[in-house]
Copies of this chain bind each other. A is one copy, B any other.
Amino acid sequence: MRLDDVVTPAAVIDHAAMMRNIARMQTRMDTLGVRLRPHVKTSKCIAVGTLQRDAGAPGITVSTLKEAEEFFSAGFDDILYAVGIAPQKLDRVLALRRAGCRLAVLVDSVTGADAVVARGRAEGHAFDVVIEIDTDGHRAGVDPESTTLIDIGRRLADGGATLQGVLAHAGSSYGLSTPEALAQIAEQERRRTVRAAERLRAAGLPCPQVSIGSTPTALSAQNLEGVTEVRAGVYVFFDLVMANVGVCRPDEIALSVLTTVIGHQVEKGWAIVDAGWMAMSRDRGTQSQAIDYGYGAVCDADGRLVDGWIMLGANQEHGILGRRADGAERAGEGEGEGDDDVARRFPIGTRLRILPNHACATAAQFSAYQVVDTAGDVAVWPRFNGW
């Protein structure tokens, strides 16, 4: 099959670009001397995870138990579930562990730890547990200097659980855009997570694993002393948010949405395409960044950027393409510059590819990837959604 035969809209992976992205991150982690534990929430695709494993990353990170179940069925057995465990979900965790999956769960409170321990004791089982550390006030996790950290560690050392280590995610790195600021947040993530591990060890508690990561910090860290593994997800595809953060170029983005021109508003300089927000997702992650790409950046059918063209606005199954306003970095939905040549430039039936703001969100709108190789042949790789 060729891309010309694919029904639009469709999620396209540029295989060569993805392989370069995988190699870049793996090489970097190898150089820094830590294990890479890719976050499969980005692709939710066994074939992509297998390529990451083959490149040198045996374990994976998941954001849902569905991901754990799907990847375990495909032979992945070293899995970290990096979202705080809801007590009601321990049934499924237990089923996976009893089937041979080394699945670790996450807690960031004494209450959460108690729930895991109680269930483990009742089942005669010791859950592998990691404590989430808050290194940047982003979301979840305990303060590395808190007494709560030690309290949680002690609860987990008392049967029903095995304390495997600590984990942090410097999500605030997504809001930065200079190498200096990124190196600083990466060092902060490392230092505070290592500090939490040291405090647990000083209290006589085990803490073999020290897990940190996000794509921006993984690619910006200068030193990972004390860290045992790094987690990163979106690097496998990259996206426009990451380009604005400064950790990739737009032409390194491996995921795009193939679409067809279905109409024009010539006076406004718009081309209307059959990829709206149902295909792109509603993610407007570049809205607050240096370059606002609207709902995505326009490329030709071969994936080459069409300079200055973005998806200005999106309805469910309609995308509005136009020029980004000259002299202004901010697009604003539905705004843009006129182009009365638009109908000749992009006739009805023209195929284009749109680079996404946020690869995880755009990929989630599809049940499969159309994977195009350098010869232009297309393979279909299924992905899954749900919980």
Contact = CB atoms under 8 A, between A and B. Distances in A.
Interface of A: 7-10, 41, 63-64, 83-89, 108-109, 111-112, 115, 134, 139-140, 171, 260-265, 272, 274, 277-278, 281-284, 313, 315-318, 320, 343, 347-349, 358, 360-361, 364-367, 385-387
A44 B324 CA distance: 34
A115 B265 CA distance: 18
Given A84-B274, A282-B283, 7 more contacts: A9-B387, A41-B317, A86-B262, A139-B272, A140-B265, A278-B385, A282-B361
Contacts of A115: 348-349
Q: How many copies does the complex hold?
A: 2
Q: Which residue, A140, A171, A264, has most C-beta atoms of chain B within 10 A?
A: A140
B139 A84 contact: no
Q: By DSSP majority rule, is chain A's interface helix, strand, loop, or mixed?
A: loop
B284 A86 contact: no
Given A63-B317, A385-B367, A109 B139 contact: no
A387 B8 contact: yes
Contact of A260 (B86, B360, B366): B86
7 contacts: A10-B387, A87-B348, A112-B348, A139-B265, A282-B283, A366-B386, A367-B385
A214 to B, nearest CB: 11
A180 B37 CA distance: 57
Given A85-B262, A263-B140, A109 B274 contact: no
Contacts of A109: 263-264, 348
A364 B366 CA distance: 11
Contact of A360 (B87, B272, B316, B361): B316
Contacts of A262: 83-86, 112, 140
A263 B347 contact: no
Given A109-B264, A260-B88, A63 B348 contact: no
Contacts of A387: 7-10
B317 A86 contact: no
A63 B360 contact: no
Q: Which residue, A84, A265, A277, has most C-beta atoms of chain B within 10 A?
A: A84
A315 B171 contact: yes
Nearest to A42: B316
A83 B318 contact: yes
B139 A320 contact: yes
A349 B140 contact: no
A263 B316 contact: no
Contact of A272 (B63, B84, B261, B348): B84
Nearest to A285: B282
A189 to B, nearest CB: 16
Contacts of A272: 84, 139-140
Nearest to A233: B316
